[in-house]
Amino acid sequence: MATTIRMTTGQALVRFLDNQYVSFDGVENKFVEGYAAIFGHGFVVGVGQALESDPGGLKVYMGRNEQGMAHMATGFAKQNNRRKIIACGSSIGPGAANMITAAATATVNNLPLLLFPSDTFSTRQPDPVLQQIELPESLAYTTNDAFKAVCRYWDRVSRPETLMTALVNAMRVLTDPAAAGAVCVSLPQDVQGEAWDFPEYFFRKRVHRIPRRLPAGEELAAAADLIRASRRPLLVVGGGVRYSEAGGAVARFCEEREIPLAETQAGKSAVPGGHPLNLGGIGVTGNLAANRLAGRADLIIGVGTRFTDFTTASKSLFARPDLPVVTVNVSNFHALKLDALPVVGDAKAGIEGLGARLEGYRTGLAGEAAAAKAEWAAETRRLSLLVHSPGAEPEVAIRDPRTLDEFNQLTGGEIHQAAALALIRKIIPADAIVVGAAGSLPGDLQRMWETDARDSYHMEYGYSCMGYEIAAALGAKLARPDREVYALCGDGSYLMLHSELVTAIQEGAKINVLLFDNAGFGCINNLQMGKGVGSLATEFRRRDSAGGLAGDLLAIDFAMSARAYGAKGYTARTLDELRAALEASLEDGVATLIDIKTLPKSMTHDYGAWWHVGVAEVTDSERGREAHRDKVEMLKRARAY
């Protein structure tokens, strides 16, 4: 008869988590590093008691906002290539609901995130309890049912003994490269404190092996035949290359066959940016080199990519209806995107398997790739030298330069965003980790940022979640405490969520926030006005005498807000001030924030890519009518699936 241990559900949960390990390529490491929490009445005396009395090897982190706390855990998992996680717990009601956005962010990006939102009483005897939602059509619904739409696995522990199957299945999903995403295990607050005789074997050390899944020989043979028949293939590196640690294998595959490669946001930094065949970012936020060669390609080889609309330029970049596509992906679902010929398996195993079947095949495209890279390098140098000239048209000529000059007069800021990024790349360490998510910065970074340091480009661009940047930078720093970590965000993202900056200060984790203040949601203002809509509620302006939002721009001292928390705060209005702030921040031992007064409309443009958005079919704006005509024409050319 099995030996049992009597303990509460909360105590059993903590002990189980503390004994989970993963093994990848023969390297074993602890899977659950810690437990992040914002304690509320729903679990402070349940799971909270267990963490206080015996956390084992789990480190407890104190969050400031449940969404930010979960973004921190997602950033930690991403920087560890999905092989280490921090679990997150919350109270019921708003605490739980705050984590839903973070769950969606993790699931979209196939990143493991383990959430334990507390729940109402399973007995229903005290109902309705504080923070409980009551729905007349069903008393079984709680806030936590909202997680079902954004999680890869969902469960509710209605009795202590159900914890066992819930946690075993949670680990199944979290450690599966094809299924990874958010996992929600809902914990009713009464059950957390209830005891049961758990079998001792439930708490044994468990090693979850992450195998390199080998693709089928038939799939490899068919894909190799397609590649041999092509003369102008282009390989697209996605996030799966990073998580498989297949960058070296992909680089060798391309070198031996002179196949140019391009990067998605998730795949960037898997292969060194300086590699002679690496053209850089592709798609809507891609550069001239990658997009030009993509338009000439007679075969696309997607490795570890989901082929989002930004990667394919809303399917206009690979527009030829007969253009063949080969995919290598551990997920069968993603492997079938674009009606591709799928090679379902691990990215490294798949690309090595293809290479073994392509002996003697070469394209002769190395020279063309080098020329395209040189042309783009010249454009990057031009962007890095942009300076403010009062009254001049902005780089993105969507409206008159009034806002640009007004901002300059109000703040003294005269920095072009593209020039700032070029300077930042020169000053910060070569192996620094840069974290981003939303606004115009991801586009400029995918185009302009080059690094040879593996896994140093940390972009969340699947959900493009504003507010991810600072929290995830903390997660990346916890994962790599020996490296400088920079969160690059706009003023809009900072105002939306920056609370985990305080957690970073509490933890003594030095992160660096590079805040690009352009007095608004600049990226969306560009989209808005470029499609014939007037500037409405996208610039940070006071209400005017006519009752609209077209008054004076707001002047905000973001550096002062950071200093109030205990961080070092700098303000940069010129490139010389930015250089000085960057150099000084490298000597600081605490979290820093540099408030970069960035000229509106000074981001880069689209370099030949198109993005499909819902444009008004009926409008009084001539620009709007033109945008709709362009959309109709582009849809005729775009690949339809």
**Tens digits of residue pLDDT in 71-89:** 999 999 999 999 999 999 9
Give me the helices (H) in 428-499, please.
Answer: 441-448, 468-479, 491-496
Percent of the chain with pLDDT over 90: 89
Mean pLDDT of 124-144: 93
Q: Which of 411, 402, 609, 418 is nearest to 525 (CA)?
A: 402
Mean pLDDT of 495-524: 96
What is the distance between the alpha carbons of residues 326 and 340, in angstroms, rounded to a whole number? 5
pLDDT of residue 641: 66
What is the distance between the alpha carbons of residues 569 and 559, in angstroms, rounded to a whole number? 4
386 or 63, which is more confident: 63
Q: Is the pLDDT of residue 309 over 80?
A: yes
Which token pair is 564?
């109030």
Mean pLDDT of 160-177: 98
pLDDT of residue 245: 97
Dihedral angle over CA of 52, 104, 461, 315, nearest 10: 160
Q: Is the pLDDT of residue 591 over 80?
A: yes
Give me the helices (H) in 390-482, please.
Answer: 402-411, 417-427, 441-448, 468-479
Q: In this structure, how many other beta carbons lie within 10 angstroms of the beta carbon of residue 105?
A: 27
Mean pLDDT of 203-225: 97
Does residue 459 contact residue 617 with C-beta atoms inside 8 Å?
no
What is the distance between the alpha carbons of residues 192 and 55, in angstroms, rounded to a whole number? 15
What is the distance between the alpha carbons of residues 8 and 585, in angstroms, rounded to a whole number? 47
Q: Which of 5, 4, 8, 6 is nearest to 187 (CA)?
A: 8
Q: Is the pLDDT of residue 398 over 60?
A: no
DSSP letter string, 52-110 = HH--TTPEEEE-SSHHHHHHHHHHHHHHTTTS-EEEEEE-STHHHHTTHHHHHHHHHTT
Composition of the chain by helix, strand, coil, percent to 5? 40, 20, 40
- Give me the residues paired with residue 5 across strands: 198
How far lies 241's CA from each of 245, 264, 291, in Å? 6, 11, 20
Q: Is the pLDDT of residue 247 over 60?
A: yes
- Give me the residues paired with residue 592 across strands: 512, 568
Query: CB-based burial of residue 222 (10 Å sphere; 0-12 exposed, 13-18 middle, 19+ buried)?
Result: middle
N residues, the chain: 641
Query: How would you classify residue 80: left for phi > 0, otherwise alpha for psi between -120 and 50, otherwise beta?
Result: alpha
pLDDT of residue 397: 44
Instruction: Tell me 162's DSSP state.
Output: G
Mean pLDDT of 441-465: 96
73 Cβ neighbours under 8 A, 6+ residues apart: 36, 85, 86, 87, 88, 102, 113, 114, 475
- Tell me phi and psi for residue 248, to 5 degrees: -65, -40
Which token pair is 340?
């591709």
- Give me the residues paired with residue 208 across strands: 22
Which token pair is 568?
């070092």
* Confidence at 450, pLDDT banded by 50, 70, 90: very high
Query: How would you classify residue 464: left for phi > 0, otherwise alpha for psi between -120 and 50, otherwise beta?
Result: left
* 111-137 core/surface letters (b: 16 or more CB in 10 A; e: else): bbbbbbbbbbbbeeeeeebebbeeeee
Does residue 133 contact residue 142 with C-beta atoms inside 8 Å?
yes
Average pLDDT, the chain: 95
pTM given for the model: 0.97
What is the distance between the alpha carbons of residues 101 and 409, in angstroms, rounded to a whole number? 38
Which token pair is 326?
């080969």
What is the distance between the alpha carbons of residues 239 and 243, in angstroms, rounded to a whole number? 6
Backbone Cα Rg of the chain: 25
- Give me the residues paired with residue 184 across strands: 115, 154
* Confidence at 389, pLDDT banded by 50, 70, 90: confident
Which token pair is 594?
């540099």
- Tell me phi and psi for residue 207, to 5 degrees: -110, 115
566 Cβ neighbours under 8 A, 6+ residues apart: 502, 505, 590, 591
Which token pair is 74?
């997602």
Q: In this structure, how many other beta carbons lie within 10 angstroms of the beta carbon of residue 14?
A: 25
Q: Is the pLDDT of residue 393 over 70?
A: no
Dihedral angle over CA of 427, 430, 435, 437, nearest 10: 80
Which token pair is 240?
């799966």
What is the distance between the alpha carbons of residues 622 and 628, in angstroms, rounded to a whole number? 10
583 Cβ neighbours under 8 A, 6+ residues apart: 427
Choice among 256-265, 382-391, 417-426, 472-481 with the minimum mean pLDDT: 382-391
What is the distance between the alpha carbons of residues 206 and 208, in angstroms, rounded to a whole number? 6
Q: Model confidence over 481-503: pLDDT tens digits? A: 999 999 999 999 999 999 999 99
